[in-house]
Structure 1
Amino acid sequence: MEGDIASMGQYIGAGLATIGLGGAGLGVGNVAGNYLAGALRNPAAAGEQQAMLFVGMAFAEALGIFSFLVALLLLFAV
């Protein structure tokens, strides 16, 4: 019985940790959407802001990767 409760806690914790993956997807979409809106308003400055687009996407994806790592650790750590 005790092992069942522990494994249930692992699965619930891993499921909650994957909420961060959805947040990362929303973050990347927000960064890309704001870049596109700014590029359409001022196409001349779009090239200068492209580096910031990639930095913002990298930070948002890193948070998603961290939450995925936490989920895996909760599932497979002893």
Structure 2
Amino acid sequence: MQTTKALIMSLVLIHSCARGLIRPVSASLLSRPESPSKQPSYSSSPLQVARWEFQTSVISRDTDAATRFIGAGAATVSVAGSGAGIGTVFGSLTIGYARNPSLKQHFFSYAILGSALSEAMGLFGLIVAFLIFFTA
């Protein structure tokens, strides 16, 4: 009697867990519970047709967030380039002024223009980084 009861319990357990054993563990844990009202009935066909729906899983959302972080970080590199550009502009201003002090005003106007353009490129890169990071 005891072995029959254990056999029945093991068969019930196998039957109830069969779907969980067939699917991968990640798919079993991360998928949403299925509602029977959304399932179409295929009564005309003797074989049951498998239907795969597109759904965003937790792993997919994590991947999207990771790519967003990588893209925003790559766009932020332009701010470092802007700093290097401004340093180069004012370094060249110093060298030019040391070689020819009479052109101080002429060199300074070009240095301001170069630093403004370099800073604008850095700000554009920062704006792109914020757009990547904060948009859906």
TM-score interval (norm. to shorter) = over 0.9
Structure 1 residue 39: Cα displacement: 0.3
Unmatched 5+ stretches in structure 1: none
Structure 1 length as normaliser, TM-score? 0.96
Unmatched 5+ stretches in structure 2: 1-58
Cα distance per residue 1:21-66 (max 9 Å; x no partner): 1100000000000011000111111112211110000000000000
> Computing the radius of gyration over CA atoms, which structure comes out larger, 1 or 2?
2
What is residue 14 of structure 1 aligned with on the other side?
72
Q: Which amino acid aligns with 2:91?
A: G
More helix by share: 1
Structure 1 residue 2: Cα displacement: 1.0
What is residue 56 of structure 1 aligned with on the other side?
114
Q: Give me the whole-angstrom Cα distance separating, in 1, the residues matched to 2:68 and 2:88.
A: 31
Q: Give me the whole-angstrom Cα distance separating, in 1, the residues matched to 2:127 and 2:91.
A: 27
- The one of the two structures with greater contact order (alpha-carbon pairs below 8 A, sep at least 6) is 1
Give the percent of matched residue pairs that are identical in Structure 1 and Structure 2.
35
Structure 2 length as normaliser, TM-score? 0.56
Number of positions where the alignment pairs a residue of Structure 1 with one of Structure 2:
78
The correspondence of residues 42-53 of structure 1 with structure 2, limited to 5 A, is: 42-53=100-111
Aligned-residue RMSD, C-alpha? 0.7
